[in-house]
Amino acid sequence: MISLLIVDDHPVYRDALHQYLSRRFHGNNVKASSASTIAEGIKLIQSQNTPWAVLLDLSIPDAHDHLSGIKQFKNLHNVRDIAAISGLDEDLWKEQCLSAGCCLFISKNNDVDYIYKQLESMMSTYIEATSPSNLTQRQQEILKYIAEGQSNKMIAYNLDIKEQTVKIHVNLLFKKLKVTNRTQAVYQAKLLGLI
């Protein structure tokens, strides 16, 4: 399991990103946290002995220069990956960030879904193997029918299988999605882009 730290001094942007990424990564068991300064972020990481990925705004006020925050986080033993995020010119800064130790440079011109997908890719080796995207073909079919509001009986009829078999698949789906009912399953599946 890996935790994600968003370090950005702009409260509206930071909170919106934190909220969105918390929801999107929930199914992967990734806990997202946020900090408004490098110092606050370092303190948080040092207080928990778990692996971390950091999404760092390059223009953070307590940085000596645009790259110093990267170096500070790289020095922490439990930081695995760093992604730089910035409104600065990507052509000018991407290579410098990668050379300083980042895995990614993400422009703030991108939407939140793009940011999520980039981070998910960066952290993929640490995200639990039981990620809900590992649904079987049959579970994906049943999930689609659940989203349409169909009962177990109707799903069994449509797939030409026993109702008891549908119940087993539904229970496994709930476990994989970490939910307890159909409404939550549909909501979580939409968040994860499964339907």
What token pair was written down for 95? 């290579």
At residue 39, does pLDDT exceed 70? yes
Residues 4 and 104: their CA atoms lie apart, in Å, by 14
d(CA 185, CA 164): 19
**pLDDT tier, 150 (very low <50, low <70, confident <90, very high otherwise):** very high
User: Distance between CA 154 and CA 161 in Å, rounded?
Assistant: 10
pLDDT tens for each residue of 74-111: 999 999 999 999 999 999 999 999 999 999 999 999 99
Residue pair 13/41 in contact by the 8 Å Cβ criterion? no
Mean pLDDT along residues 113-137:
77
Instruction: Please state which architecture CATH assigns to domain 132-191.
Output: Orthogonal Bundle (1.10)
Q: How confident is the model at residue 129 (pLDDT cuts 50, 70, 90)?
A: very low
What is the architecture, at CATH level 2, of domain 3-122? 3-Layer(aba) Sandwich (3.40)
- Condensed to tens digits (0 to 9), the pLDDT of residues 54-78 reads 999 999 999 899 999 999 999 999 9
Q: Is the pLDDT of residue 20 over 90?
A: yes
Distance CA 101, CA 81 (A): 9
Q: Give the pLDDT band (50/70/90) at residue 130.
A: very low
| pLDDT over 70 percentage in the chain | 97
Q: Give the pLDDT score at 133.
A: 58
User: Would you list the domain boundaries of the chain?
Assistant: 3-122, 132-191
- In angstroms, the CA 37 to CA 1 distance is 24
